[in-house]
Amino acid sequence: MMELTHDHLPIHLTNLAQRYGSIYRLQCGNTTMVVLNSSKVIREALVKKWSDFAGRPISYTGNIVSGGGHAISLGDYNEEWRAHRRLVHSALQRCCQKSLHDVIERQAMHLRKVLMDYRGSAVDLSEDFTVAASNVITTLAFGKEYDKSSSELQQLHSCLNEIVALWGSSWISALDSFPLLRKLPNPVFDRLLKEVARRDEIIRRHLNNYKSQDQKNEDAITESLLQGIEKHENEGLLTDVHVHMATVDLLIGGTETTAAWLNWTVAFLMHRPEVQTRVHEELCTVLEGRYPKYSDRHRLPVLCSLISEVLRLRPVAPLAVPHRAIRDSSIAGYFIPKNTVIIPNLFGAHHDPAVWSDPYSFKPERFLEGGGGSSRALIPFGGGARLCLGESVAKMELFLFTAYLLRDFQFVPAESKASLPDLRGVASVVLKVKSYKVVARPRPVTNPRDTVA
Ligand code: HEM
């Protein structure tokens, strides 16, 4: 248990890998956990032997957070889960093809305006990044966006944030490993229950509002989900509860992750301003003044190398989500009995000295030179049956948001070097940078064709 209460668990588990190797076992109460620390062993479990390791731990607290195990992220692998994931995956795909690019462009433009309005003052941008990421999801889900001051949006975020933070706390995880503790008073657990009830109330209100609208939005994910359920294509396995929990999954999975990643990117760039200059120059040369499209990515290798390097150094879901062996199996030749909990340490895999040279340094150029690492070893979204459901949404967001920001702004510290952000991070379920202030200095307009294409 001591091992799991460490304040930066991914770093701690990565350090243990130096002593015990890329796969080792931890005992926590009555739960056996196996930690995987290299992309080779993670791929073996999650991709090659996906059908052995696609389960989720059956957990007392996970069950409460996931509406009785009906969320995709925490639901165990079974027929109902497969139908649920399939339904949401096809709704997302449909909606991505139709409107995702426009939705992200709109939010990127809006973010640009928000930054312009700061007029060079030093600010913490984390909330603006959260609003941008969250608006992408609420627009996809309901066809609805909010501004930062919206009390509805603030309520939703404070409650989702609280749930993620509380659920990651050792007060809560202890209840899973030591059932006897459930009999004792636990104020943190009481708060979690309250926040889950608040979350469900807000999502229910949103879904009811959506259903009562006269004009339905054919592009909205909610519409696809509701239609999918009505058509009974899923042999009655899925109900309104699944639409509700899918909405929670998309909001939780798609907001803090993308926002944390943007925050990390700006923080790293403040430490290496010459990387900003290189990306800006590439954008100017290749795009000749216009704003980028996602299809431009193959012509923007410097920007893509920056995105990959931030995903490598700070995978925002550093320990993914725990998996469970659903039958006896093996990893790297070791016997793994049924019900073993598997922790894919993505942070560890991304800092593996056998794969990455100088693994702790921020060096986007490693992805350009072909040395010091391999893109195959980059696994920020996991893999196999449990691959991040929002991977394609996230990739387009990271690309367009970063391109828009670096085209128009230079990110500099408020005063001296002393105010550069601390890059160690705070690790819970999501790995975040400690809050910092930055000046978003508008770049001089260099091209007369400075219009949105
Ligand atoms: C799961 C990473 C953005 C929705 C995951 C997992 C990782 C991950 C590592 C766990 C995989 C596993 O269990 O092995 C990331 C990163 C993101 C990101 C690095 C952005 C930088 C998003 C977005 C969405 C999303 C934008 C929604 C639109 C989900 C869902 C799951 C998930 C629903 C659960 C999948 C399942 O259990 O089957 N993500 N994610 N994520 N993610 Fe993401």
We report the CATH number of the domain holding residue 328 as: 1.10.630.10
Would you say the CB of residue 26 lies under 6 angstroms from ligand 1? no
Annotated binding site for heme: 388
Both tokens of residue 2?
């001591």
- At residue 371, the pLDDT reads 53
Ligand 1: centre distance to CA 416 (Å): 37
- pLDDT digit string, tens, across residues 179-222: 888 888 888 899 999 999 999 999 999 899 888 887 777 788 99
The residue assigned the tokens 């696994």 is 379
Burial 60-89 (b: 16+ CB within 10 A, else e): ebbbbbbbebbbbbbbbbeebbebbbebbe
Q: Is residue 184 part of a domain?
A: yes
Q: Which atom of ligand 1 is the closest one to the Cα of 344? A: 14
- At residue 137, the pLDDT reads 93
Residue span of the structural domain in which 25 resides? 2-442
Q: Which atom of ligand 1 is the closest one to the Cα of 317? A: 9
Which SS3 state, helix, strand or coil, does residue 359 take? coil
The residue-averaged pLDDT of 378-406 equals 97
CA distances to 48, 56, 180, 311, 349 from 380, rounded to whole Å, are 17, 19, 36, 6, 10
Q: Is residue 183 part of a domain?
A: yes
Q: Is residue 19 part of a domain?
A: yes
Both tokens of residue 155?
């309520």
Cβ partners under 8 Å of residue 451, min gap 6: 289, 290
The residue-averaged pLDDT of 57-63 equals 87
Ligand 1: centre distance to CA 249 (Å): 9
Q: How long is the chain? A: 453
- At residue 359, the pLDDT reads 95
What integer best gives the mean pLDDT of the chain?
A: 90
Q: Is residue 327 part of a domain?
A: yes
Q: How confident is the model at residue 453 (pLDDT cuts 50, 70, 90)?
A: very low
Would you say the CB of residue 83 lies under 6 angstroms from ligand 1? no
Q: Is residue 352 part of a domain?
A: yes
Q: Which atom of ligand 1 is the closest one to the Cα of 394? A: 26
Q: Which atom of ligand 1 is the closest one to the Cα of 246? A: 33
Q: Which atom of ligand 1 is the closest one to the Cα of 379? A: 9
Ligand 1: centre distance to CA 387 (Å): 7
Would you say the CB of residue 269 lies under 6 angstroms from ligand 1? no
Residue whose CA is at the smallest distance from ligand 1 atom 28: 390
What's the ipTM? 0.99
The DSSP output letter for 372 is S
Both tokens of residue 435?
């809050």
Ligand 1: centre distance to CA 421 (Å): 26
CA distances to 73, 104, 137, 231, 246 from 238, rounded to whole Å, are 16, 30, 22, 11, 11
Would you say the CB of residue 250 lies under 6 angstroms from ligand 1? yes
Q: Is residue 451 part of a domain?
A: no
Among residues 121, 141, 360, the alpha carbon closest in space to that of 245 is found at 141
Task: Kindly provide the residue ranges of all beta strands, DSSP E only, lying in 73-177, ordered along the sequence.
Answer: 122-123
Residue 355 sits at φ, ψ, to 5 deg, of -110, -40
Among residues 229, 194, 218, 222, the alpha carbon closest in space to that of 208 is found at 222
SS (HEC) of 307-358? HHHHHHHCCCCCCCCCEECCCCEEECCEEECCCCEEEECHHHHCCCCCCCCC
Q: Is residue 447 part of a domain?
A: no
Ligand 1: centre distance to CA 73 (Å): 8
The tally of domains found in the chain comes to 1
Among residues 286, 280, 264, 311, the alpha carbon closest in space to that of 421 is found at 264
Among residues 204, 93, 206, the alpha carbon closest in space to that of 145 is found at 206
